[in-house]
Amino acid sequence: MKKIFTLLLCLMTLTLDAQELDIPTSITVDEQMQMLDDKQCNSFIVGVQGDGKDIKKKFKDFLEDRYAIEVKGLGSSLKGEGLNNSRISDKVFNLLFKIQENGTSNLVSLFMSFSNGDYVNSEKYASEANVIKDLMKDFTKSYYADVVNERIEVKTEELEKLNKQRAKDIDEKTDLAKEISKNEKKIAKYESKVAKAQLKIEKYQEKIKDEEKDIADNGQEVEELKADNNTAAAKKTEVETKLETNNKLIAEKSEELKALQAKLSQLLSF
């Protein structure tokens, strides 16, 4: 019963985890004016679910891995000045990354500016704006892909553990069934001896005392084996209950794993 309770608790926890993050089917990067250094500046914004610190770290790693750009953290922001990267712009530029946290839903903003004080926008700097939009979209896809892959790994490990436990339960059930069958054969054997002994008592009065001893011994053996059989049958029932619960968990987790894999495939396809 303790194992069953543990498995049910595990299922409840995993169900709650799966509900915490809603994987998007599309990603939209918007432009929006925001106050920055006492003036309105254009920014590129995308909504990202998750922990703000984790998003910030993954964005920093994303810039370093994809663009070899290093930025430094400051509170909920990341900042890089005097940057050079021809994939983004042929000019020297600055980047400012900001997170506005709201529970698990966050607005992630990226500002790009030049030394002349201009902030990149689609109207004046269309080329850079398109690059930044693609960059933000690629980051968001990468972030969610990492989250989904981590969850797939966790679900896979959980399924492996459940399958191992199921295999053990099946082996135990098989062993108990064999034990019951073996004891039933012994019961039949000793019951047969008892019956034969009783016939001998009726037929051979002179052997009553000897046969009565055989009857008593064999009867005691029957009772002990029946008691063992009852114990084994009760344990077999408990194992069958555990196995049924385990099979249900495996089916549910397999469905969760398929759903996550489908979402990952959908996410990486656009």
Residue type, 236: K
Q: What is the pLDDT of residue 154?
A: 95
Residues 161 and 264 in one domain: yes
Residues 124 and 171 reside in one and the same domain:
no
Q: Are residues 95 and 169 in the same domain?
A: no
Looking at 150, 172, 203, which one is the last position of a domain? 150
Indicate whether 262 pLDDT > 50. yes
What is residue 4's predicted lDDT score, i.e. its pLDDT?
A: 37
What region, left, alpha or beta, does residue 96 occupy, with left being phi > 0 and alpha being psi -120 to 50 degrees?
A: beta
Task: Mark whether 104 and 189 lie in a shared domain.
Answer: no
- What is the residue-averaged pLDDT of the chain? 87
**Alpha-carbon gap, residue 107 to 101, rounded angstroms:** 7
Residue 121 predicted with pLDDT over 70: yes
> Is there a single domain that holds both residue 83 and residue 138?
yes
**What's the pLDDT band for 13 if we cut at 50, 70, 90?**
very low
**What total of structural domains would you count in the chain?**
2
Q: Is the pLDDT of residue 129 over 90?
A: yes
In a domain, 9, yes or no: no
Q: Is residue 264 located within the same domain as residue 166?
A: yes
Does 213 have pLDDT greater than 90?
Answer: no
For the residues 96-112, what does the mean pLDDT come to?
Answer: 90
Of the residues 98, 126, 150, the one at which a domain ends? 150
The residue range of the domain holding 37 is: 24-150
* Residues forming beta bridges with residue 74, ordered by sequence position: 77
Long-range contacts of 92-96 (CB under 8 A, 24+ apart): 93/120, 93/128, 95/63, 95/69, 95/71, 96/36
The CATH number covering residue 71 comes to: 3.30.310
Segment of 11-20, 132-141, 180-189, 192-201 carrying the highest mean pLDDT:
132-141
Distance CA 211, CA 95 (A): 101
* Within a domain: 17: no
pLDDT top residue among 4 and 94:
94
177 and 220 share one domain? yes
Partners of 40 in the β-ladder: 35
Domain boundary among 131, 150, 169: 150
At residue 219 the predicted structure's pLDDT band, cuts being 50, 70 and 90, is confident
C-beta separation of 240 from 169 below 8 A: no
Report if residue 85 sits inside a domain: yes
- Inform me whether the pLDDT recorded for 28 exceeds 60: yes
Determine the pLDDT at residue 232: 86
Mean pLDDT, residues 189-197 taken together: 88
Tokens representing 243 are 């196995």
Residue 172 has pLDDT above 60, yes or no: yes
Higher pLDDT, 207 or 194: 194
User: Residues for the chain: how many in total?
Assistant: 270
Within 8 A by CB and 6+ apart from 30, the residues are 44, 45, 46
